[in-house]
Amino acid sequence: MYLSPEIEGTLHESLLHYYKALEDGDLSALSSLMHRESYFVMLHSLGFKRVFRDENFKTLLTNMHADVSALQKVVSALHTDLLQEDRRYKIEISSYEPKGADRVTVHYLEDGHTKKMYFEKSEETWKINFKAGRSKVS
């Protein structure tokens, strides 16, 4: 399946923006780049270390789906954690693998390590969707 240079450029920029947002601790930018469910999966993943240091944080993670206040506290704490990490990523796109008209897997290197990011087109916008790598059920 053919993927236009325009779509490749959009996905490339989105992936770079994703990593820049991680470097900057900009979770609102990440939220805009991702499907909601994938965003919450990412918050859980980023919060994993903090759960062992802060018992209350585990409760916030559990409640953030339904409680805006809990979500704000999670985002604030993770923002601080990401800034303290002061991490910088080197990203190199290897290839694009179309998975139909509305899904693409981007293969890339993150600091020399092979990675994949899954994108899905939603309402004319390409967003990161961790589940887009799975087969679609008809």
CA distance between the termini of the chain:
19
The 3-class SS string of 59-71 reads HHHHHCCCCHHHH
User: Are 38 and 130 contacting, i.e. CB atoms less than 8 angstroms apart?
Assistant: yes
In this model, does residue 15 exceed pLDDT 80?
yes
In this model, does residue 138 exceed pLDDT 90?
no
State pLDDT tens for residues 28-85: 999 999 999 999 999 999 999 899 989 899 999 999 999 999 999 999 999 999 999 9
pLDDT for the residue numbered 122 = 85
The C-alpha atoms of residue 63 and residue 56 are separated, in whole angstroms, by 11
State pLDDT tens for residues 102-132: 999 999 999 999 999 999 998 889 999 998 7
List the domain boundaries for the chain.
5-17+89-132, 21-85
pLDDT for the residue numbered 137 = 53
Residue in this structure with the two tokens 């490339």, named with its chain if needed:
12
In this model, does residue 98 exceed pLDDT 90?
yes
SS3 112: coil
pLDDT for the residue numbered 136 = 57
User: Are 39 and 31 contacting, i.e. CB atoms less than 8 angstroms apart?
Assistant: yes
Phi, psi of 112 (to 5 degrees): 85, -5
Angle between helices 36-53 and 68-85 (to 10 degrees): 70
Q: Is the pTM of this model over 0.85?
A: yes
